[in-house]
């Protein structure tokens, strides 16, 4: 077979800091090329991408560049549809795989599309209106037509498959579930260095609970903050020994999270009040010079105050992320919707006890015993689960063992083999 794969989402191969479609595409392609020397692969990049050496070393690989990326902003429809289709047609592919939810509609040969999630359909209120307006063509035309014309659809979870069927009326037998993998060594935290250095870097004082993910509404971070605050305010609570560390890139509609952090910290520490919005707007300043300097650091996502019960430390590198997960007493991920849930799987693979939602795909990833499932809409359940994990050493140990065992069922090699089977179904 001659298999074409759209690799334009891969921008930084080998670093593995990215997530989402680029992360998926990179590890899928890398593992396909390692296990399959029989089929021919044509990998399509755009002209920005130069680091193709690790792909070119395989004799059954041809690299093709779309040479007109610079014109995309002027002719977006022509770029993504007609011109891409013309170049694909020249290659006489047996199957073309788009890993990013959509296909070029004028392309009429056999195609496969991977769908990662349907969050924009399931929870449109989580997205800014301006963003939704920009996505109208994609959500109303491009995605539905792509799913209809695709010979096969790969869903990254059973939950995503169900969402596709319910949202678009796609026949069940057209959709194949192929789970993503996790890229962690079997030795887990033994191979992760620099834990203490990372703690010092981010001003973490000792034991902590970790959340890691984009700061946006569907991650339900405000409920986690409030649950942690409520535990901290209980007299003689064992949770008082812990910090809640929040790590991840800033997303949209994130202001509520930062306000919740400030309010919760003030409540836990017994501070009188925060500066009012009027004081900030008028420039009235009653704080000391030292406090002003620390506030300036926090605006840059650099909060080094070790006494803060809840700390947002911003985006962290891949290596720092692994170190933070390894040292955390537990990993809490109360998201309202996930197509797959890679952060949960990463934490499980490293043996860190997991608390996560009983919604969307997350129960699939955790399995029967890999973590504690909670109703993310109930702060009391989040709080109870945290308290239970922090106070029960035996429970932590059992979650650690069961989680790491469960994570071994998800590998990129397995993902590649099952994806190759889907290719073979339509040849």
- Residues 371 and 241 placed together within one structural domain of the fold: yes
- The whole-angstrom separation of Cα 306 and Cα 10 is 37
- The whole-angstrom separation of Cα 130 and Cα 122 is 17
- Residues 223 and 128 placed together within one structural domain of the fold: no
The domain spanning residue 72 has which CATH number?
A: 3.40.50.2000
- Residues 161 and 205 placed together within one structural domain of the fold: no
Q: What is the pLDDT of residue 188?
A: 61
- The whole-angstrom separation of Cα 359 and Cα 374 is 9
In sequence order, what are the beta bridge partners of 235? Answer: none
- Residues 386 and 351 placed together within one structural domain of the fold: yes
- The whole-angstrom separation of Cα 45 and Cα 9 is 8
- Residues 119 and 219 placed together within one structural domain of the fold: no
Q: Which residues of 380-405 are buried (b: 16+ CB within 10 A; e: fewer)?
A: ebbbbbbbebbeeeeebeebbebbbe
Q: How many domains does the chain have?
A: 2
Q: Residue 30: is its pLDDT beyond 50?
A: yes
Q: What percent of the chain has pLDDT over 90?
A: 68
Domain hosting residue 284, numbered range: 188-407
| DSSP element (H, E) containing 46 | strand 40-46
- Residues 146 and 53 placed together within one structural domain of the fold: yes
Helix axes 379-391, 221-232, angle to 10 degrees: 60
- The whole-angstrom separation of Cα 392 and Cα 258 is 31
- Residues 152 and 175 placed together within one structural domain of the fold: yes
Find which of 161-170, 176-185, 233-242 is predicted with most confidence, using mean pLDDT.
161-170
- Residues 201 and 312 placed together within one structural domain of the fold: yes
Min mean pLDDT across 136-140, 141-145, 202-206, 402-406 is at 202-206
- Residues 67 and 36 placed together within one structural domain of the fold: yes
Min mean pLDDT across 225-229, 297-301, 374-378 is at 297-301
User: 213 in the Ramachandran plot: left (φ > 0), alpha (ψ -120 to 50) or beta?
Assistant: left
- Residues 275 and 366 placed together within one structural domain of the fold: yes
61 in Cβ contact with 3 (< 8 Å): no
pLDDT in tens, 54-70: 898 899 999 998 876 66
């Amino acid at each position: 077979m001659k298999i074409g794969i759209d690799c334009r989402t891969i921008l930084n191969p080998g670093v593995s800091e990215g997530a989402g479609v680029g992360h998926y595409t990179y590890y899928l392609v890398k593992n396909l090329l390692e296990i399959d020397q029989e089929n021919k692969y044509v990998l399509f990049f755009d002209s920005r991408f130069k680091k193709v050496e690790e792909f070119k070393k395989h004799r059954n690989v041809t690299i093709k560049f779309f040479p007109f990326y610079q014109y995309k902003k002027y002719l977006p429809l022509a770029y993504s549809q007609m011109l891409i289709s013309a170049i694909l047609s020249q290659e006489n592919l047996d199957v073309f795989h788009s890993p990013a939810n959509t296909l070029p509609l004028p392309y009429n040969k056999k195609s496969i599309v991977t769908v990662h999630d349907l969050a924009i359909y399931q929870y449109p209120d989580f997205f800014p209106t301006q963003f939704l307006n920009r996505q109208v063509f994609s959500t109303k035309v491009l995605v539905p037509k792509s799913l209809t014309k695709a010979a096969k659809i790969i869903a990254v979870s059973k939950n995503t498959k169900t969402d596709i069927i319910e949202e678009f009326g796609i026949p069940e037998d057209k959709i194949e579930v192929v789970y993503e993998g996790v890229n962690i060594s079997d030795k887990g935290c033994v191979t992760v260095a620099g834990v203490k250095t990372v703690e010092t870097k981010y001003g973490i004082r000792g034991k902590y609970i970790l959340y890691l993910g984009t700061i946006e509404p569907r991650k339900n971070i405000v409920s986690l903050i409030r649950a942690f605050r409520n535990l901290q305010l209980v007299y003689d609570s064992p949770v008082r020994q812990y910090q809640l560390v929040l790590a991840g890139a800033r997303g949209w509609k994130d202001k509520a999270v930062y306000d919740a952090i400030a309010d919760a910290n003030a409540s836990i520490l017994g501070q009188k009040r925060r500066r009012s919005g009027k004081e900030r707007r008028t420039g009235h300043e009653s704080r000391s010079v030292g406090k002003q300097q620390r506030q300036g650091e926090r605006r840059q996502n650099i909060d080094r105050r070790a006494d803060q019960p809840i700390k947002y430390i911003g985006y962290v590198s891949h290596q720092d992320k692994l170190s933070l997960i390894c040292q955390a007493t537990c990993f809490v991920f109360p998201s309202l919707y996930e197509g797959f849930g890679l952060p949960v799987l990463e934490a499980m693979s490293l043996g860190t006890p997991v608390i996560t939602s009983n919604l969307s795909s997350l129960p699939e990833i955790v399995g029967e015993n890999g973590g504690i499932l909670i109703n993310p809409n109930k702060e009391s359940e989040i709080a109870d689960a945290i308290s239970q994990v922090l106070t029960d050493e035996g429970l932590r140990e059992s979650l650690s063992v069961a989680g790491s065992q469960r994570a071994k069922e998800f590998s990129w090699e397995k993902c590649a083999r099952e994806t190759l089977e889907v290719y073979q179904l339509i040849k």
